[in-house]
Amino acid sequence: MAAPANAPRRRALRFRGDLALAIVVLTPSIVAVAIFIYFFIAYTFYVSVVKWPTLLPDYTFVGLKNWINMFQDMRFRIDMRNLVLYALGFMTQCIVIGFLLASLLDQKIKSEALFRTIFIFPFAVSGIVTGVVWRWLMYPSAGLNQLFSLVGLDFLKSKWYTDPTWGILAVTIASAWQFSGYVMALYLAGLRGISHELKEAAAIDGANTWQLYRRIIIPLLAPVTFTAVVLTGMGSIRVFDIPAVLGTGAAFSTDALAFHMFQLTFQSNKMSSGAVIASVMIILAGFLVGPYLASLQLEESQ
Amino acid sequence: MKQLNRREFLKFGALVAGGAALASCAPAAPAPQQPAEAPKATEAPKAAAPAAGAQKLEIFSWWTSGGEIEALNGLFEVYKKRYPGVEIVNAALAGGTSSGGNMKAVLQTRMMGGDPPESFQVHLGGELIGTYVKAGQMEPLDFLYKEEGWDKVFPAELIEIASYEGKPWSVPVNIHRSNMMWYNKKMLADVGAEPPKTWDEWFVLAEKLKAKGQPTLAIAESGAGFTAHVFETMMIPVLGPEDFKGLFTGKTSWEDKRIATALEILKKALDYANADFLNVSWGDVNQLMVAGKVAMIIQGDWTPGVLWSLKFQDFGWAPAPGNEGIYQMLSDSFGLPKKVKNREAAINWLRVCGSKEGQDAFNPAKGSIPARTDADITKYSEYHKWAMEHWKKDKLVPSIVHGAAAPVSFMTDFMNAINVFATKKNVEETQAALVKAAKDAGFQK
């Protein structure tokens, strides 16, 4: 089947050249992206403004009713609060720990490759596994708490993710453990890109280490930080696996938008309500990605 | 050089295109066969059954652990004996009732994709009706009930719960009772108390235990569901069985003052629960009672099996306070999806599920009682004998949390509202949330 099809196409290619090739190569992915990304985004928004409360599609237009209901929903409000806390905790930990690890690795230490590998390893673990492991580490009557009481550090004992108010912050510990290594890799690449002359010049001008970092390195790493913020921010919005394993907690203290959406759509068959949450997530992601794309454009035009 | 690369690339492209063309052919191939097979099955079902050696019976369930597998295999054995030559495919997936809900999500995809299994496990009543019956995906089973004489062996109230628009939609294989109280005999004896018959008596007992520093009620609310289960046993005595059932038909309003009364009982009872109930998960309550950390568990009758497996014998049972004479039930059942590949094999499966032989093969291992009232009582444990007595004479009401009373959408809203209540204890806010859920589910306007 392949052989006869080959000959005429080869001839055509010789005439039309690169353009034809470009069309051939790009069309499938453009079509796939158009259908599987943009069409479904549009479809999700459409579903969010129709009735559809059961398995069977019901495209009766109801306007923003589902959206208003959702914004009055207690669980959704708790989810939004959780998102804010989660994003703050997750981003801060990833960026601070990632930056510290990268700075330490950048000190021309021995067996750097080994440490680099160790720090980035958690990133290779799936979120479900991370959730299961940290679930036991932070289980109130086991894991870390048991360790603390064994070594006489009882004041460090905590309810971790079972705390009805701050449990979500304990969840970020697990997520940050997984993702900090990746942020470290980003920073390490950034640090390697800073020229030695610059650091030496600063040293000659009498800058101490603190000033070197404060005035030279951190500002120069701003684009990396920006990338890290976007990546961890996206991670915060779409987080699903770790809360799914840790449970939604008391009064949804460790619930997440994506998990709520999953339960609405796939367990309660509330298609339209699920679509509202999915749309909210897309919009939130847009707030993050928009500035990122704009900054890329700016860089290109410079 | 460049040319060569392109040529190679094109060859690869052609391969991909060819592959895609082949792939698109593959699913189309069985299509013309199907209509050819279908009329054969309807014209001469009896003749087709033994002849078709390749007939498959695919059964979806969430029974994947210990006694459940044994119970399901018991049903399969009966089926194999009666209908040899049919290959049974056990498509069990964990997580039907847990928050993951794996099995239900996969089933939903298959059903909506027009590729249903021959039959699947589903809670009889609201869960099936709200999900697949109203969506027009199931066949009514009134013909089978008549053929097999099930109208006479299943209690009329059970058939009523299984029915929508006057027709039953699934065949119950078992019955669990949810409004039960399991108590630590020693802890009650220590304060000289009998198992309480009403919630008032219960609070007297709870106060006595509290004086000794012992919590009375086991609650596990690290996720939604457990407290909602307990709350149902508070609604039933306050409303009575008829008005409780009326909550799902619009006869009883969720704005009724008695709902607030039941919430007040729950609010008060939570003061007598294990203090760490927001950290405890559903599976851990049994150990709490075994260890003497709580005096009782209000939970369904899957509990004795777990307690026995923990080598704990010193417990007693009674209906939850105020629930005497009212059997709150849930039932695992099987239905008949439309467009199944082997309709005859699927109908035979349902025959086995509803048969006395099938139910007596399934239930002793599962730790539940048969839905039939004529089952062989000698095969069951002491508790189950007690339960079978009550099954014959008590009034029946369906469980919300276990899918019998209402569609899953309402069930989830109900559990979530009570989950928040367990933390915030706000009666008005919670009742408002319940009223909204009832409106969303179409119980009232």
Q: Which residues of chain A lie closer than 8 angstroms to B94, CB-CB?
A: none
Give the residue from chain A lying closest to B11, CA to CA. Answer: A6
Q: Going by DSSP bridges, is the β-strand pair B167-168/B296-299 parallel, antiparallel, or unpaired?
A: unpaired
Q: Looking at the complex, does the CB of residue A193 fall below 8 Å from at least one CB of chain B?
A: no
Q: Looking at the complex, does the CB of residue A247 fall below 8 Å from at least one CB of chain B?
A: yes
pLDDT band at B2 (very low <50, low <70, confident <90, very high): very low
Answer yes or no: are the C-beta atoms of B253 and B270 closer than 8 Å: no
DSSP secondary structure of B253-292: -TT-HHHHHHHHHHHHHHTTB-TTTTT--GGGHHHHHHTT
Query: A17: buried, middle or exposed (CB in 10 Å: 19+, 13-18, 0-12)?
Result: exposed
Q: Flag if B134 and A10 touch (Cβ within 8 Å).
A: no
**H or E, element range at B146:** helix B142-148
Instruction: Say how far residue A47 (Cα) sits from the centre of its chain.
Output: 25
A95, two tokens: 């960026």
pLDDT of residue B10: 42
Q: Flag if A244 and B11 touch (Cβ within 8 Å).
A: no
Answer yes or no: are the C-beta atoms of A79 and A252 closer than 8 Å: yes
Q: Which residues of chain B lie closer than 8 angstroms to A74, CB-CB?
A: 416, 420, 429, 433
Q: Within chain A, where are the H helices? A: 2-16, 18-33, 40-48, 65-72, 74-105, 112-120, 127-137, 143-150, 167-192, 196-204, 209-211, 218-220, 222-238, 241-246, 257-262, 271-301
Q: Looking at the complex, does the CB of residue A7 fall below 8 Å from at least one CB of chain B?
A: no
DSSP secondary structure of B226-238: HHHHHHHHHHHHH
Residue type, B399: S
Q: Looking at the complex, does the CB of residue A54 fall below 8 Å from at least one CB of chain B?
A: yes
Q: Pick B131's closest partner by Cβ from A5, A10, A269.
A: A269
Select from B376, B377, B330, B336 the least CA-distant residue to B353.
Answer: B336
Of the listed ranges A119-128, B4-13, B59-68, B111-120, the one predicted with least confidence: B4-13
pLDDT of residue B279: 77
pLDDT of residue A43: 95
Q: Mapping DSSP to helix (H, G, I), strand (E, B) and coil, where does residue B328 land?
A: strand
Q: Flag if B412 and A249 touch (Cβ within 8 Å).
A: no
Distance CA B203, CA B211 (A): 12
Question: 10 Å Cβ neighbour count for A287?
Answer: 10
Distance CA B183, CA B150 (A): 36
**Residues B215-230: pLDDT tens digits?**
999 999 877 889 999 9
pLDDT of residue A10: 59
pLDDT band at B255 (very low <50, low <70, confident <90, very high): very high
Q: Which residues of chain A lie closer than 8 angstroms to B408, CB-CB?
A: 267-269
Q: Flag if A6 and B440 touch (Cβ within 8 Å).
A: no
Average pLDDT, integer, range B25-37: 37
- Tracing tokens 């339209």 back to the chain, one arrives at A272
Q: Which residues of chain A lie closer than 8 angstroms to B11, CB-CB?
A: 2, 6
Q: How far is A126 from chain B (nearest CA, A)?
A: 17
Question: 10 Å Cβ neighbour count for A80?
Answer: 14
Instruction: Say how far residue B37 (Cα) sits from the centre of its chain.
Output: 35
**H or E, element range at B417:** helix B408-424
Q: How far is A139 from chain B (nearest CA, A)?
A: 9
**Residues B396-436: pLDDT tens digits?**
999 999 989 998 889 989 999 999 999 889 999 999 999 99
**Residues B258-316: pLDDT tens digits?**
999 999 999 999 999 998 888 787 888 999 999 999 999 999 998 998 899 889 999 99
- Tracing tokens 């949810």 back to the chain, one arrives at B178
Query: B89: buried, middle or exposed (CB in 10 Å: 19+, 13-18, 0-12)?
Result: exposed
Contacts of A138 (CB under 8 A, 6+ apart): A144, A160, A161, A170, A173, A174
Distance CA B61, CA B107 (A): 9
A180, two tokens: 């900090």
Q: How far is CA B224 from CA A143, A241, A249, B275, B427, in A?
A: 24, 18, 8, 17, 17
Q: Pick B108's closest partner by Cβ from A5, A264, A266.
A: A266
Q: Which of A267, A271, A273 would you mutate first to test chain B, the one with the most B CBs within 10 A?
A: A267
Query: A264: buried, middle or exposed (CB in 10 Å: 19+, 13-18, 0-12)?
Result: buried
Angle at which helices B343-354 and B66-82 cross, to 10°: 120
Per-residue pLDDT of chain A (302 residues; tens, 9 = 90+): 444 555 555 555 555 678 888 888 999 999 999 999 999 999 999 999 999 887 778 899 999 999 999 998 888 999 999 999 999 999 999 999 999 999 999 988 888 899 999 999 999 998 889 988 998 898 887 888 888 888 888 888 888 888 878 889 999 999 999 999 999 999 999 999 998 898 889 889 888 888 999 988 999 999 999 999 999 999 999 999 887 888 787 788 889 999 999 888 887 888 999 999 999 999 999 998 888 888 888 877 77
pLDDT of residue A18: 82
Q: Which of B278, B401, B429, B434 would you mutate first to test chain A, the one with the most A CBs within 10 A?
A: B278
Instruction: List A residues 65-124 in contact with B (Cβ-Cβ < 8 A).
Output: 74-75
Q: Is the pLDDT of residue B378 over 70?
A: yes
Beta bridge partners of B61: B92
pLDDT of residue A73: 87
Which sign, positive or negative, has the C-alpha torsion A204, A207, A213, A214?
A: negative
Give the residue from chain A lying closest to B136, CA to CA. Answer: A56
Answer yes or no: are the C-beta atoms of A74 and A160 closer than 8 Å: no
Residue type, A256: A
Of the listed ranges A162-171, B27-36, B165-174, B320-329, the one predicted with least confidence: B27-36
ipTM of the complex, rounded to two decimals: 0.73
pLDDT of residue B108: 84
Answer yes or no: are the C-beta atoms of B335 and B128 closer than 8 Å: yes
Distance CA B115, CA B91 (A): 14
Instruction: Say how far residue B256 (Cα) sits from the centre of its chain.
Output: 27
Q: Which residues of chain B lie closer than 8 angstroms to A21, CB-CB?
A: 6
Q: Is the pLDDT of residue B85 over 80?
A: yes
Q: Comparing B179 with B28, which gets the higher pLDDT? A: B179
Of the listed ranges B42-51, B322-331, B380-389, the one predicted with least confidence: B42-51
Instruction: Say how far residue B250 (Cα) sits from the centre of its chain.
Output: 23
Answer yes or no: are the C-beta atoms of B96 and B103 closer than 8 Å: yes
Question: 10 Å Cβ neighbour count for B377?
Answer: 13
Q: Which of A54, A71, A259 would you mutate first to test chain B, the one with the most B CBs within 10 A?
A: A54
Q: Is the pLDDT of residue B28 over 50?
A: no
